[in-house]
C-alpha cells in the first residue's frame, strides 16, 4: 500500500470541510464539485475516488456542519459561566451578529434547510438527522434546575432558526440587528 491510510482520510475530510463552508455560503446548488475541490486544493476529476455523488458529499457536509456548530455554540455559551448553559443562553449565543454575517461557519439549518428538504433522499435523511441532533442537544441543556418542556425546546429552536433567517433576509443592517435583539428578548421572556 504505497500511501498511508490516513492520507486519503485526511484528504476526504478536507473536501468535506470545504464543502460544508461553501454549501452554507452559496447553497448546495450554488457551488459546483469543481469549486469545492479547488478550495480543497485539488482538481475536480479526483472527486469520485472519495464520494459516489455530489449528493453524498452534501449529506456528509451537512452532518459535519451541524456537529461543528453545536460544539462552537456550547463553548461560546459556557464562557465565563459556572453552570452549564440553558436554552436562553444557547439561543443568545446563536442569535448574534457574527453568526449572521458568517453563514459559512454557522448553522446549516438557517443557511439552507428549505432547499435541503427538497433535495435527494440522502440529503433529506441527513437533514432529518441534523434536526434530531439539535433537539437532543437542546433537551440535554433544558434538563437542569428550572426544567423546560419539549414544546419549549422545539419553540426555542424554531425561533432561533427563524430569527437567524429573518435577520439575514431583512433589508438593512439596522433592522437586522433589531431582529436579533428582539428574538433574544422574546426567548428570555423579558419582553
* Smallest separation (angstroms) from its own copies to the CB of 3: 37
Residue 131 Cβ, how far from DNA at the closest point, in Å?
24
CA–CA separation, 45 vs 53, rounded Å?
12
Which residue in the set 49, 71, 158, 173 belongs to the binding site for its own copies (CB under 8 A)?
A: 158
C-alpha atoms less than 13 angstroms from C-alpha of 20 in its C-beta half-sphere: 20
Binding mask 55-94 for DNA (x = CB under 7 A): x---------------------------------------
Closest CA to 114 of 2, 176, 28: 28
Half-sphere exposure of 49 (CA within 13 A, CB side): 11
Q: Under rule CB under 8 A, which residues in 72-131 are in contact with its own copies? A: 109-118, 124-125, 127-131
Q: Tell me, rounded to whole angstroms, the distance of Cα 140 from its chain centroid.
A: 18
According to CB under 7 A, which one of 19, 21, 47, 86 is a site residue for DNA? 47
How many residues line the site for its own copies (CB under 8 A)? 53
Q: Which of 17, 25, 35, 74 binds DNA (CB under 7 A)?
A: 35
Query: Which residues, in sequence order, are CB contacts of 37 under 8 Å at separation 6+?
Result: 15, 18, 43, 44, 46, 47
Amino acid at each position: 500500500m504505497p500511501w498511508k491510510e490516513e492520507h486519503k482520510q485526511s484528504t476526504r475530510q478536507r473536501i468535506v470541510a470545504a464543502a460544508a463552508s461553501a454549501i452554507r455560503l452559496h447553497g448546495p446548488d450554488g457551488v459546483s464539485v469543481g469549486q469545492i475541490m479547488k478550495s480543497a486544493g485539488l482538481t475536480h476529476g479526483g472527486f469520485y475516488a472519495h464520494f459516489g455523488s455530489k449528493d453524498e458529499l452534501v449529506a456528509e457536509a451537512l452532518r459535519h456542519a451541524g456537529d461543528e456548530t453545536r460544539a462552537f455554540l456550547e463553548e461560546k455559551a459556557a464562557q465565563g459561566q459556572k453552570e452549564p448553559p440553558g436554552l436562553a443562553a444557547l439561543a443568545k449565543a446563536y442569535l448574534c451578529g457574527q453568526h449572521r454575517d458568517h453563514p459559512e461557519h454557522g448553522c446549516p439549518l438557517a443557511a439552507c434547510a428549505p432547499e435541503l428538504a427538497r433535495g435527494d433522499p440522502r440529503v433529506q435523511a441527513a437533514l432529518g438527522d441534523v434536526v434530531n441532533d439539535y433537539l437532543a442537544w437542546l433537551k440535554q441543556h433544558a434538563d437542569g434546575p428550572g426544567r423546560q418542556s419539549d414544546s419549549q425546546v422545539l419553540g426555542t429552536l424554531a425561533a432561533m432558526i427563524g430569527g437567524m433567517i429573518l435577520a439575514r433576509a431583512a433589508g438593512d443592517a439596522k433592522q437586522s440587528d433589531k431582529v436579533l435583539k428582539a428574538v433574544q428578548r422574546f426567548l428570555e421572556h423579558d419582553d
